[in-house]
Chain A
Amino acid sequence: MNLTLKIWRQAGPDAQGELATYPVTDITEDMSFLEMLDVLNEELIGKGEEPVAFDSDCREGICGMCSLMINGQAHGPEVTTTCQLHMRSFSDGDTITIEPWRAEAFPLVRDLIVDRSAFDRIIQAGGYISVNTGAAPEANNLQVQKHKADRAFDVATCIGCGACVAACPNASGMLFLGAKISHLGELPQGQAERDSRVVKMLNQHDAEDFGGCQNLGECSAACPKEIPLDVINQLNHDFLRAKR
């Protein structure tokens, strides 16, 4: 395949950014999207230019490090992470626009890399169960109904990639937040801090400049882990419960 890439280049947070155009040739269907960018970067370095900076690590869809808006869609046209998107989703001659996540809460670092540490601070605000190491009771003393365990697992699969935020017109982080609230709130272990957790995490979410949720559903549609939209209902429900 031969493709035309339009890629956001920006040397630093305060530098002027622009879309630069790069043709790439001999791209095969089996390449992942990031391998295609590797090919481009090798070429750029060969020509003495600086390669395009982008984040990735595991390259198997689980670390949440990769990002990229591809043709205006978070992680591109398939419901998956960018590292697991393969070039067979594109056709010869396509022009592909590649941009970073855009959100107030995710300031740009360089080229396609943004700073997602706001997510860590939301977790710091209460996204845990307080248990000291070494003091845990025997695990099987606690039974968890299978449907609850399954639900907790389904929402615990969030990889913290931020696609939900990037996809949302308001740049809201509610899907990420709702996933954590639902994971911990579903389990018996998470009950003691359930009320305080939701209040603290939501306050932090707002303090980080994430937008509010208007139930548009773009977040869930873009989520590579298919976190369901109803975690936001759960979040709202828990918040009201906490305020009672």
Chain B
Amino acid sequence: MPELIDNLYALGDQIEDTKAPKVPVAEMWTKAKFENKLVNPTNRRKLSIIIVGTGLAGGAAAATLGEAGYHVKSFCYQDSPRRAHSVAAQGGINAAKNYNDDGDSIYRLFYDTVKGGDYRSRESNSYRLAEVSANIIDQCVAQGVPFARDYGGLLDNRSFGGVQVARTFYARGQTGQQLLIGAYQAMERQVAAGTVEQFTRHEMLEVIIVDGKARGIIARDMVTGEIETHLADVVVLASGGYGNVFFLSTNAMGCNVTATWRAHRKGAYFANPCYTQIHPTCIPVAGDYQSKLTLMSESLRNDGRIWVPKRREDCEKDPRNIPEEDRDYYLERKYPSFGNLVPRDIGSRQAKVVCDEGRGVGPLVGDFRRGVYLDFADAIKRMGRDAVKTKYGNLFDMYQRITGENPYEVPMRIYPAVHYTMGGLWVDYGLETTIPGLFAAGEANFSDHGANRLGASSLMQCLSDGYFVLPNTIRDYLAQGPFEPVAEDAPEVLEARKSVEDRIDKLLSINGDRTVDSFHKELGHIVWEYCGMERNDAGLRKGIDLVRSLRQEFWRNVKVPGSADTLNQSLEKAGRVADFFELAELMFIDALHRSESCGCHFRSESQTEDGEALRDDEKFAYVAAWEFAGGSEGSYEPPVLHKEDLIFNFIQLKQRSYK
């Protein structure tokens, strides 16, 4: 074991992405596609693939790989693949189509992605993402996805935070739903064709590794409680992000880290866990009972103006009675060229800054008012109420339903909330993790967005991974086959099953006196307070202690009613929260060791004179990939850090500025 640093982690060997071809970035993907080996169509049906997740990444991959003729088994925890969390994306999907001739190009999308990610993503992956983006739109239109169109019948676009071109395709405020339905339908077509087998209400709880290769999973049938073994030649995790470690987030309630965390425990490196994107336009928290936060699409920032009162005394006043000269349109003031369209990390942090100054609006939560106004009064004056309604009507209705206030009359109130996680399993250019035969796609991997994701870029990445990248790279892996069959009673399989069963038994047997949710809420609060929008050394160290002692209490005092052999929602939650506890510790360690600010990772010790994030490229231009170093139930041994240096050959590292 290498030497421990700070008693928290050890430093391991450098790591490298060896699969990206050594050619100029614009030629990499073409070359990789050509060099990846082929699998003869008649051999394909003998090869099998497990895909965990039916969101845009997993659904698209299942559809495409099934269509190619492989035998695919697809898993999700919901009752239907169509309900995967991708369904909730409101805003849109980017693509470098340059339909508006406003200067967009693959290169500009690539550039914006790398810059937006604060130079903490790989050039190779980001370029490929921009490159296939145009094909994604073609594919989805052909499937019947009803994107917005103009009167000439052509596709319409809008612009999104952090960019100055209109490259975002959208379907009113339901882009995610419409894209997911497209992928879902394509996948169901393969179910009918017999190439895809669908397992709904199944939760993957362990990866099976034989001879160093991923060969299957252990899943629990959530209706009968049965523990099942599923074997295959390749396993793909497309299980989404882990933002629910914060308890309150814009994610669906079931989102969890279990699939990727179980893989991490079996040897897959976990990269950049501390990069959490906080979205600037969410409906503020209203009370303790609250189970989740609701996002208001970022597209609202195209026409809404964000402000708070200049003086604290005005914060309780009816906003309509606060005259223009007493309002502080702080984004327009500080960032004149991007105004309300600054990237998310900047928009979020500035909202926190004004609320911390005591100029927030809305109800007091703790000692603070945590809200700023998003005001459509000017837009209504300029465009008319009807035009505003056509553009944003469903979002306004949603806001009114949740808050009981009418946003056509009174400005909306918004506050930042946890939204997306840029960290995830480390993958190479082929989306393969450090475990051979285990791939990760979509939000579950770390690769494309660096320290901050631009709006409308996740949908693009998920579909790029699922429709275009994985089918090519998995093919290369499968071409090494045929693979030796694994017996259902192989020791590795039995061991994986047993660990799942033991864990379930343990959770059910503790029979303490605190509910799972109460632990989850407290954990979430710790992570938000000390590893949220702003972090510092002392807070992070404190957070680690708090997480550890709460985790110990969890394993001593959690109460999980019911039994294992039936539908048991408390048990499902308990397993997920147990994994969140370990993840939380790794997030803290990662955040602590990275003593620079970059993107969404804001360390208060590292800022410029005017309060912007101050990167340290000399020391931190790398991906932090963490290796699991052991630990049984509830203990997480100090992990090992492997650094992948980020090398910028095509884009020059610059201080990010949106002024």
Q: Measuring CB to CB, which residues of chain A are less than 8 angstroms from any residue of chain B?
A: 11-12, 28-32, 34-35, 38-39, 42, 45-46, 48-51, 53, 55-65, 80, 84, 86, 88, 109-110, 113, 115-117, 119-120, 123-125, 127-134, 136-140, 142-146, 149, 152-153, 156-157, 159-160, 183-184, 187, 189-190
* B504 sits at the interface (CB 8 A): no
Q: State whether A45 and B135 are in contact (beta carbons under 8 Å apart), knowing that A59-B292, A131-B142, A136-B141 are contacts in the complex.
A: no
Q: In the complex, are the beta carbons of B398 and A183 less than 8 A apart?
A: no
Give chain A residues whose Cβ lies under 8 Å from the Cβ of B324. none
Give chain B residues whose Cβ lies under 8 Å from the Cβ of A143. 152-154
* B428 sits at the interface (CB 8 A): no
Q: Which residue of B lies closest to A161 (CB)?
A: B83
* B618 sits at the interface (CB 8 A): no
* B260 sits at the interface (CB 8 A): no
Which of B154, B186, B294, B471 lies in contact with A140, CB distance below 8 A? B154
Interface 9-residue window, one of B38-46, B478-486, B560-568, B603-611: B560-568
Closest 7 CB pairs of A and B: A143-B153, A128-B185, A136-B142, A139-B141, A136-B138, A153-B146, A124-B192
Compute how far the CA of A60 lies from the CA of B399 in the bound complex, rounded to whole angstroms: 11
Compute how far the CA of A120 lies from the CA of B591 in the bound complex, rounded to whole angstroms: 43
Q: State whether A146 and B150 are in contact (beta carbons under 8 Å apart), knowing that A38-B289, A53-B569, A123-B185 are contacts in the complex.
A: yes
Q: In the complex, are the beta carbons of A63 and B294 less than 8 A apart?
A: no
B405 to chain A, nearest CB (A): 11
Residue from the set A39, A61, A115 with the largest chain B CB neighbour count within 10 Å: A61
Compute how far the CA of A156 lies from the CA of B401 in the bound complex, rounded to whole angstroms: 22
Q: In the complex, are the beta carbons of A64 and B82 less than 8 A apart?
A: yes
Q: Can you sample 9 A-B contacts with CB below 8 Å?
A: A38-B289, A62-B176, A109-B567, A131-B139, A139-B137, A140-B97, A152-B144, A156-B171, A157-B174
Q: Which residue of B lies closest to A111 (CB)?
A: B567
Compute how far the CA of A62 lies from the CA of B174 in the bound complex, rounded to whole angstroms: 8
A3 to chain B, nearest CB (A): 14
Q: In the complex, are the beta carbons of B559 and A45 less than 8 A apart?
A: yes
Compute how far the CA of A42 lies from the CA of B198 in the bound complex, rounded to whole angstroms: 33
Q: Which residue of A lies closest to B141 (CB)?
A: A139
Compute how far the CA of A91 lies from the CA of B151 in the bound complex, rounded to whole angstroms: 47
Compute how far the CA of A130 lies from the CA of B185 in the bound complex, rounded to whole angstroms: 9
Q: In the complex, are the beta carbons of A130 and B189 less than 8 A apart?
A: yes
A94 to chain B, nearest CB (A): 18
Give chain B residues whose Cβ lies under 8 Å from the Cβ of A30. 286-287, 404
Give chain B residues whose Cβ lies under 8 Å from the Cβ of A128. 143, 185-186, 188-189
Q: In the complex, are the beta carbons of A45 and B286 less than 8 A apart?
A: no
Q: In the complex, are the beta carbons of A133 and B63 less than 8 A apart?
A: yes
Q: Which residue of A lies closest to B563 (CB)?
A: A50
Q: In the complex, are the beta carbons of B85 and A58 less than 8 A apart?
A: yes
Q: In the complex, are the beta carbons of B561 and A48 less than 8 A apart?
A: yes
Q: In the complex, are the beta carbons of B79 and A115 less than 8 A apart?
A: yes
Give chain B residues whose Cβ lies under 8 Å from the Cβ of A145. 153
Compute how far the CA of A64 lies from the CA of B82 in the bound complex, rounded to whole angstroms: 9
Q: Measuring CB to CB, which residues of chain B are less than 8 angstroms from any residue of chain A?
A: 60, 63-64, 67, 78-83, 85, 87-88, 97, 99, 135, 137-139, 141-144, 146-155, 171-172, 174, 176-178, 181, 184-186, 188-189, 191-192, 198, 200, 223, 252-254, 286-287, 289-292, 294-295, 398, 401-402, 404, 467-468, 471, 513, 515, 517-518, 559, 561-562, 566-567, 569-570
Q: In the complex, are the beta carbons of B401 and A144 less than 8 A apart?
A: no
A120 to chain B, nearest CB (A): 5
Give chain B residues whose Cβ lies under 8 Å from the Cβ of A42. 515, 517-518
Give chain A residues whose Cβ lies under 8 Å from the Cβ of B154. 140, 143
Compute how far the CA of A39 lies from the CA of B521 in the bound complex, rounded to whole angstroms: 13
Q: In the complex, are the beta carbons of B401 and A86 less than 8 A apart?
A: yes
Give chain A residues whose Cβ lies under 8 Å from the Cβ of B569. 51, 53
Q: In the complex, are the beta carbons of A134 and B139 less than 8 A apart?
A: yes
Give chain A residues whose Cβ lies under 8 Å from the Cβ of B189. 124, 128, 130
Which of B148, B188, B404 lies in contact with A123, CB distance below 8 A? B188
Residue from the set B63, B146, B147 with the largest chain A CB neighbour count within 10 Å: B146
Q: In the complex, are the beta carbons of A31 and B289 less than 8 A apart?
A: yes
Compute how far the CA of A116 lies from the CA of B471 in the bound complex, rounded to whole angstroms: 30
Q: State whether A35 and B567 are in contact (beta carbons under 8 Å apart), knowing that A116-B80, A131-B143, A144-B153 are contacts in the complex.
A: no
Q: In the complex, are the beta carbons of B471 and A146 less than 8 A apart?
A: no
Compute how far the CA of A94 lies from the CA of B177 in the bound complex, rounded to whole angstroms: 35
Compute how far the CA of A113 lies from the CA of B222 in the bound complex, rounded to whole angstroms: 12
Q: In the complex, are the beta carbons of A133 and B139 less than 8 A apart?
A: yes
Q: In the complex, are the beta carbons of A57 and B80 less than 8 A apart?
A: no
Give chain B residues whose Cβ lies under 8 Å from the Cβ of A62. 87-88, 174, 176-177
Compute how far the CA of A12 lies from the CA of B567 in the bound complex, rounded to whole angstroms: 9
Q: In the complex, are the beta carbons of A61 and B398 less than 8 A apart?
A: yes
Q: State whether A110 and B177 are in contact (beta carbons under 8 Å apart), knowing that A35-B290, A45-B515, A139-B137 are contacts in the complex.
A: no
Give chain A residues whose Cβ lies under 8 Å from the Cβ of B252. 57-59, 63
Q: In the complex, are the beta carbons of B155 and A139 less than 8 A apart?
A: yes
**Besides A84-B401, A138-B138, 16 new A-B residue pairs in contact (Cβ under 8 A), listed by A number:** A29-B404, A45-B515, A46-B513, A46-B515, A48-B561, A60-B294, A60-B295, A60-B398, A62-B88, A133-B60, A136-B135, A139-B138, A146-B153, A152-B144, A153-B148, A160-B82
Q: In the complex, are the beta carbons of B198 and A133 less than 8 A apart?
A: no
Q: State whether A189 and B141 are in contact (beta carbons under 8 Å apart), knowing that A31-B289, A38-B517 are contacts in the complex.
A: yes
Q: State whether A137 and B142 are in contact (beta carbons under 8 Å apart), knowing that A28-B289, A51-B570, A130-B189 are contacts in the complex.
A: yes
Give chain B residues whose Cβ lies under 8 Å from the Cβ of A12. 566-567
Q: Which residue of B lies closest to A126 (CB)?
A: B192
Q: Which residue of A lies closest to B294 (CB)?
A: A60
A148 to chain B, nearest CB (A): 9
Q: In the complex, are the beta carbons of B287 and A28 less than 8 A apart?
A: yes
Q: In the complex, are the beta carbons of A63 and B88 less than 8 A apart?
A: yes
Give chain A residues whose Cβ lies under 8 Å from the Cβ of B404. 29-30, 86, 88
Give chain A residues whose Cβ lies under 8 Å from the Cβ of B153. 143-146, 149
Compute how far the CA of A19 lies from the CA of B542 in the bound complex, rounded to whole angstroms: 48
A63 to chain B, nearest CB (A): 4
Q: In the complex, are the beta carbons of B561 and A159 less than 8 A apart?
A: no
Give chain A residues whose Cβ lies under 8 Å from the Cβ of B186. 128, 131, 133
Which of A45, A48, A139, A156 lies in contact with B178, CB distance below 8 A? A156
B602 to chain A, nearest CB (A): 27
Compute how far the CA of A46 lies from the CA of B85 in the bound complex, rounded to whole angstroms: 30
Which of A45, A65, A109, A142 lies in contact with B561, CB distance below 8 A? A45
Compute how far the CA of A109 lies from the CA of B567 in the bound complex, rounded to whole angstroms: 8
Q: State whether A159 and B570 are in contact (beta carbons under 8 Å apart), knowing that A48-B561, A86-B401 are contacts in the complex.
A: no
Q: In the complex, are the beta carbons of A120 and B566 less than 8 A apart?
A: no
B276 to chain A, nearest CB (A): 20
Q: State whether A57 and B149 are in contact (beta carbons under 8 Å apart), knowing that A133-B139, A140-B155 are contacts in the complex.
A: no
Give chain A residues whose Cβ lies under 8 Å from the Cβ of B176. 62
Q: State whether A153 and B171 are in contact (beta carbons under 8 Å apart), knowing that A84-B398, A120-B80, A146-B153 are contacts in the complex.
A: yes
Give chain B residues whose Cβ lies under 8 Å from the Cβ of A32. 291, 402
Compute how far the CA of A11 lies from the CA of B568 in the bound complex, rounded to whole angstroms: 10
Q: In the complex, are the beta carbons of A45 and B566 less than 8 A apart?
A: no
Give chain A residues whose Cβ lies under 8 Å from the Cβ of B223. 109-110
Give chain B residues whose Cβ lies under 8 Å from the Cβ of A152. 144, 146
Compute how far the CA of A123 lies from the CA of B81 in the bound complex, rounded to whole angstroms: 12
Compute how far the CA of A139 lies from the CA of B253 in the bound complex, rounded to whole angstroms: 35
Q: In the complex, are the beta carbons of A149 and B518 less than 8 A apart?
A: no
Q: In the complex, are the beta carbons of A116 and B402 less than 8 A apart?
A: no
Give chain A residues whose Cβ lies under 8 Å from the Cβ of B290. 35
Q: State whether A56 and B253 are in contact (beta carbons under 8 Å apart), knowing that A45-B559, A120-B198, A124-B192 are contacts in the complex.
A: yes
Compute how far the CA of A30 lies from the CA of B403 in the bound complex, rounded to whole angstroms: 7
Q: State whether A50 and B562 are in contact (beta carbons under 8 Å apart), knowing that A109-B567, A110-B567, A113-B567 are contacts in the complex.
A: yes
Give chain B residues whose Cβ lies under 8 Å from the Cβ of A35. 289-291
Give chain A residues whose Cβ lies under 8 Å from the Cβ of B401. 80, 84, 86
Compute how far the CA of A204 lies from the CA of B568 in the bound complex, rounded to whole angstroms: 31
Q: In the complex, are the beta carbons of B142 and A129 less than 8 A apart?
A: yes
Give chain A residues whose Cβ lies under 8 Å from the Cβ of B87. 58, 62-64, 159
Q: In the complex, are the beta carbons of B146 and A187 less than 8 A apart?
A: yes
